[in-house]
Each structure stands twice: as structure tokens, then as C-alpha cells.
Amino acid sequence: MSITRWGNPPWIIDFHPTRGPIPDEVDFAVIGGGFTGLSAAAWLRQMEPGKSVAVFESGSIGAGASGHTGGMTLAETAAGDLPGLGDVLSGFSATLRDLAVDGDLSLPGVWEVGRSGALPDSPISWTDSGNLRAIRQVPGGTIDPGKLVSGLGRSAAGRGALIFENTTVEDIAFEEPMRLNVVGLNAAGREVRAKSVLLATNAMSLELSDLAERAQPKFTLALATEPLSSAQLENLCLASGKPFYTIDFPYLWGRLLRTGGIVFGSGLVHLNDWREFAELDIAQGEVAELMARLELRVRGLHSSLKNVQVSNRWGGPILIASGWRPVFSRHPRSAHAIVLGGYSGHGVALSVYLGRWAAEALCGRRALPDWDSAGETA
């Protein structure tokens, strides 16, 4: 998947694995080198250092949502808490610690903001289709997505996982072992046999993960401003480092960067087919129009932002699954394949946390949750 036209976020992924020969057979194949796949690969090797792990990534690591995210670390899931989910933020922090990953994690809390029901002493007062004010604080914070992708990649490779960038899994024959048809650099249609597979392909390859009929791929946008002065950040009430998101529409979220710049995000492009991702261009058509609208909203939010310069514009894929619940289940065609994703734009902490859980499930050490119908009768 070419992502050169999705724009450039303000962080860098400074780790790329050394490429070795593609093996004929592995114990565990992980498809997708985002937060989910890299976390699972690192944890598989941590638990089972004697077993082989190969990650196949179509682009470079972080080429999908993980490198193009906003980096807010949120509790629970987009559908709230789910049976057996546990504490996502504690599990996320513990996984970073256990895998020795420095993702610049900070958890000062998150502002929920909205156009009604504000706190009487709301420190926030912005203008965006009404008066946007603070409604409550919830647990959460931010990471540096470049550091998180790089750190997870380094951790997985350091533990002996083989990571193949620019290598796509085109097809899987669901036999025992499964046979993966792998295409990419020096691998024109190679077959790799895998005893177990994790599909961590998020909004792409939806036929492979059997999600084409069950989840909707979308493209969403973000921009980063040039660094603001401390006075500007104080005026905006963003100096504390607490990110925010709206709980009503039109949707808007934002977070402070270490540089003093702020990332704002909003907007959804609807796709009929995930292959349309390859055509999306941050500077053209509907995406460019949505970006211009976002920029206008940001400048109108507060006098401190009226003349702000935008340094980065980008977008990336998200996958909305049924009931906004993440998909975490066996592949219908094999008990040895797990599908994990569909975080509905709420996957930074969750992907790393569930990636570890998926690794444990692949090793038979933990059961999968049953979220397919959770909440439907509630």
C-alpha cells in the first residue's frame, strides 16, 4: 500500500529492521506491522524465545494508522468497558515497561469537552459550532507515536522476531500448517508455512481477515501547528498536556506536542472498498476539502490560534466495527488464526494491550474474550 500521499505527521520512526531471508516455515506469523502486530510479536518472543516469529508488513512499520495516529492514550474501548477487558491504561503502561519501550507516555488525564453540560468552572472556553467547554476529566494522556512504533519494532526485533517490511501477505490457505502467499522485495509469490497466524491488518486486506462484511474502513485527518508560546498554551488551557476530545458533534480532538505545537483532528472520508486508501491524497479532492475545513475550525477556536501556522497535515485509516467494539476472535477458517483490530479510532493504548493478549492466546495461555454480541442486549 503506497501511503506517500497521506501526508507527514510531526514524528519520526527511526527504527527499521535489518532484512534477512524469508523462512520457509515459522511457528507464528504476524501480518501487519502496526502497534497491534509489533506488540504481539515482541510478546510472543518474550514468552516463547524458542519459537520463531515473523512479521510481514506491506509498507514500512507504522505505515498504517499507527504512524499516522494522533497518539492520545485512552482508557477502555470506543464502546466503553467490555466484559473481561481489564484496565487498558495500566496494561498498556505495564507492557511498555516489560518490553522496555520508551514511548514518551504521559498520563495527566483527558478533557472531555462539549457544547452543553459544561463544568461551572470550565477552564476551557472555545468557539466551534457553539461554545466548547470542559465537561469532565477522564483517565488518559499521550504518547509519541514515532517513538512507540520504533520502540515496539526494536523490542520485537531485539527479542528475535523477524520483521519483513515491503512484504505483503496476499493470501492464506487455511490448512495445518497454514500456507501464506507472500509477495514483496525478493519474494515474488513465496510460500511461508505458519502454525499460527495473527491478522493485525486493521482497515486493509479485509478479505484476508474476513472483515469485509463486518467493518467499515474510513480515513480521518489531523494537522499539527507550529510551536505556540507558553502564554498561548496557557490561554488555550492546553499547557498542562491534557489532550481533549468532544463528546458531541462536530467532532474535534487535540493534544499538545513536546515542541509546544498542537495536533488537532477531525473529519471522516467514507470508503466503499479498502483499496480506495491507495488513491487518497491529502492535497486533493474530498480529503483536501475536509483538511481546509479543519484548518478553518482550528483558527476560529480561540484568538491564540487565529494566525497560527500549520506545520504538518496528514491522515490515516481507521476501521469501524459493529457496535464500535474491537474485533478479537478466531478466524472463521482456522482455530489457529486470530483476527485483532477494528478499534474504531480508539486504538493506541488498546492495540498494544490487546496485542499482548493475542500473543498469550496464540500460545494457548489465555482465552479470547467474547465481545461479538457484548452490549447488544444491554
Instruction: Report in angstroms how near the CB of residue 102 gets to ligand FAD at its nearest.
Output: 18
Q: Which residues pair with 286 in a beta bridge?
A: none
Q: Is 288 helix (H, G, I), strand (E, B) or coil?
A: helix
Query: What per-residue string of b and e applies to 252-277 under the rule 16 or more CB within 10 Å gives b?
Result: bbbbbbeebbbbbbbbbbebeebeeb
- Please pick, from the candidates 15, 35, 126, 357, the single residue that binds ligand FAD as defined by CB under 6 A: 35
Return the number of the residue (177 or 345) whose C-beta is nearest ligand FAD.
Answer: 345
Find the binding residues for ligand FAD in span 156-195 (CB under 6 A).
168-169
Q: Is 130 helix (H, G, I), strand (E, B) or coil?
A: coil
At residue 269, what is the residue type? V
Find the binding residues for ligand FAD in span 51-90 (CB under 6 A).
56-59, 63-66, 68-72, 74
| Pairing verdict, β 215-225 and 262-270 | antiparallel
How many angstroms separate the CA atoms of 276 and 186, rounded?
Answer: 26
291 binding ligand FAD? (CB under 6 A): no
Closest chain position to ligand FAD (CB)? 347
Instruction: Report in angstroms how near the CB of residue 140 gets to ligand FAD at its nearest.
Output: 9
246 binding ligand FAD? (CB under 6 A): no
- Please pick, from the candidates 26, 36, 305, 369, the single residue that binds ligand FAD as defined by CB under 6 A: 36
| Pairing verdict, β 187-199 and 334-341 | parallel
Return the number of the residue (40 or 228) whose C-beta is nearest ligand FAD.
Answer: 40
Site string for ligand FAD, 209-228 (x = CB under 6 A): -----------x-x------
Whether the link from the prior residue into 139 is cis, omega within 30° of 0, is no
How many angstroms separate the CA atoms of 63 and 33, rounded?
Answer: 8
C-alpha cell at 68: 499516522
- Backbone phi, then psi, for 105, in 5-degree steps? -70, 130
How many angstroms separate the CA atoms of 265 and 251, rounded?
Answer: 8
* Binding piece for ligand FAD, criterion CB under 6 A, among 14-22, 127-135, 281-289, 312-320: 312-320
* Binding piece for ligand FAD, criterion CB under 6 A, among 45-53, 151-159, 202-210, 328-336: 202-210
Size of the site for ligand FAD (CB under 6 A): 44
196 binding ligand FAD? (CB under 6 A): no
151 binding ligand FAD? (CB under 6 A): no
What do you get for the CA distance between the two ends of the chain, in Å? 39
30 binding ligand FAD? (CB under 6 A): no
- Residue-level length of the chain: 378
32 binding ligand FAD? (CB under 6 A): yes
Contacting residues for 275 by C-beta, under 8 A, at least 6 apart: none
347 binding ligand FAD? (CB under 6 A): yes
Which residues of the chain form contacts with ligand FAD (CB under 6 A)?
A: 1, 31-37, 56-59, 63-66, 68-72, 74, 168-169, 200-202, 204-205, 208, 220, 222, 265, 315-318, 341, 343, 345-348, 351
